[in-house]
Structure 1
Amino acid sequence: MAQSDRSTVDWTPANGSLVPHKDAPGTDVFYNQGGFFIVRSDLGCYLWTEDLKSGTGIKIQRLHPACQGGDHYLSDNKNPPNIYVIKGDSYRVVKDLSTDAEAEVRELASSCRGGDHYTYCGSWFYIISQNKGSLDYVCDLSTPISGGRTPLEPECSKGLFYFTIDNLPTLIKLDEKWGAQCYLYKEFFSNHPRFSSIHPNVLNFFPGGLALVKGASTGGWECIKTLHNDSDSSITWSDKVTCKVGYAKQQMSSMEHNWSISAEMSLGAGELTKLITQFQFSLKTEYGGRSIRTDQEDWTEAREEEESIQVTLEPKKNLYIWQYRLGIGHKPVLFCRDVEFTKENNPPDRIPLPPVP
Structure 2
Amino acid sequence: MKFTTTATLASLAALASAKDSRTFAVLRFNGDGFLTEGPMDPIVSPGAVSSHYHSIMGGNKFGTLVEGDQLGSSTCTTAKLNNDNSNYWVPALFFQDPKNGTFQKVPLFYMNVYYFFEATDDTIKPFPMGLKMLSGDATTRSPPKSGGALNLDPDNGIPINSVQWTCPRSSYDPPSYPVGSDGSTAGIVDPNNKGSGSGFPLYPCDGYASPLRQDIHFPSCYNPNAGLDDHANNMKFPSNVGSKQNCPAGWIHTPHIFFEVYWNTPLFNNYWTPDGKNQPFVLSSGDATGYSSHADFISGWDQNTLQTIINTCDAGDLDRPHLWHSSKEW
Normalised to the residue count of structure 1, the TM-score between the two structures is 0.23
Higher strand fraction (1 or 2): 1
Q: Which has the larger radius of gyration?
A: 1
* Greater relative CO, 1 or 2 (CA 8 Å, sep 6+): 2
Higher helix fraction (1 or 2): 1
Normalised to the residue count of structure 2, the TM-score between the two structures is 0.25
